[in-house]
Structure 1
Amino acid sequence: MQPRQIPRSSSFRSPGPSRCSGAVGQARRLCRRNRSGVKESIDGNSQSPSLTDAFSHLIAQIAITPPGARLAAISGQVAIDKSGQLIGGNDHAAQAKRCFGNVLNALAAMKADPKDILQMKIYVVRHSADLVPAIFSAGADIFGEKWPVCASTWIGVEALAMPEWLVEIEVLVAVP
């Protein structure tokens, strides 16, 4: 069985070019974000032929906290507004859009930017491959040109804390 490839369609692509993708000899370069948010190669001794850059338009295989930054955690954000009302009903994409919006609001509250995100975990109730484009598109709608290419995990779950919640997003941030 062939592994399923995530296509590089416009709904999945981060707006910027992948500056650290490609082969160096037979090894892939490992990347991190510098303080300006630009992807850069990690020390030449950190090359590994076992890590792929196939998803470098969406995620980073490794994320390192920049020197002098403080690590901050944003609790799992769900699709509720400031008054606690559910946004998006039974629609994964609509809920994801609100979750990403809540993450962006939390970043602003701590005077951070999407480029400061080190890690993102996306929890999805009743996950199926058909939900991937819709959820990433919702994130692209919120972040636009500032899509956070960071260490990332997508986790399919049976349920979240409340039965009406379909998506939850938590992030770790390197606050400058």
Structure 2
Amino acid sequence: MVQAFNPPELWSPFGAFSMAVIQGDGHIVHLKGQISLDRSGQVVGHNDMRAQTRQVLENIRDVLAAMGGQMIDVISLVHYATDIDAFMGTGDIRKEFFTAPFPVTTTVQVERLYRPELMIEIAAIAEIPRERFRHPASDTP
């Protein structure tokens, strides 16, 4: 059984998705692909890959924190970038959020995301240790 979770600290989902899905007894957490929206749903960093990457990673950090997780718990990332060269220039930003051992990653270039001003979407899977995990109250049926 899985449980959907949408932390109130982030923008509200507007479609058929959740910010995170908790699998099993709460150790494995699958995060929805995050984009560079702030809490009010406004795009951060129009056409700025560096600003968007930072906001996306902050969103991932905040979803995890709402369940007791940390960035060190991330085990896998999938990056969807509209400009692979611009994304490759964000390594220093990613290193602000991740330390060794780094999560496994897949990076693909896509023609566009659901809004043309968005340049990056990152999906993550994390394993939060049982002693830190806080099971959120479900806000989704």
Is 1:138 aligned to 2:75, yes or no? no
Aligned to 2:64: 107
Provide runs of 4+ in structure 1 moved above 4 Å. none
Structure 2 unaligned residues grouped into runs of 5+: 1-24, 130-141
Aligned residues: 105
The TM-score normalised by the length of structure 2 is 0.67
Task: Specify which of 76, 80, 103 is matched with residue 33 of structure 2.
Answer: 76
Structure 1 unaligned residues grouped into runs of 5+: 1-67
Secondary structure in structure 2 of the residue aligned to 1:154: strand
Tell me the amino acid that sits aligned with residue 149 of structure 1: F
Aligned to 1:22: none
Tell me the amino acid that sits aligned with residue 92 of structure 2: S
Aligned to 1:151: 104
Cα distance, 1:70 vs structure 2 = 2.0
Identity, in percent, stands at 28
Tell me which structure has the larger Cα radius of gyration. Answer: 1
Task: Specify which of 105, 116, 133 is matched with residue 163 of structure 1.
Answer: 116
C-alpha contact (below 8 Å) 1:114/1:148 kept by paired residues: no
Cα distance, 1:140 vs structure 2 = 2.5
The TM-score normalised by the length of structure 1 is 0.55
| Counterparts in 2 of 1:85 and 1:69: CA distance versus 1, 3 Å | closer
Q: Relative contact order (C-alpha < 8 Å, sep 6+): which is higher? A: 2
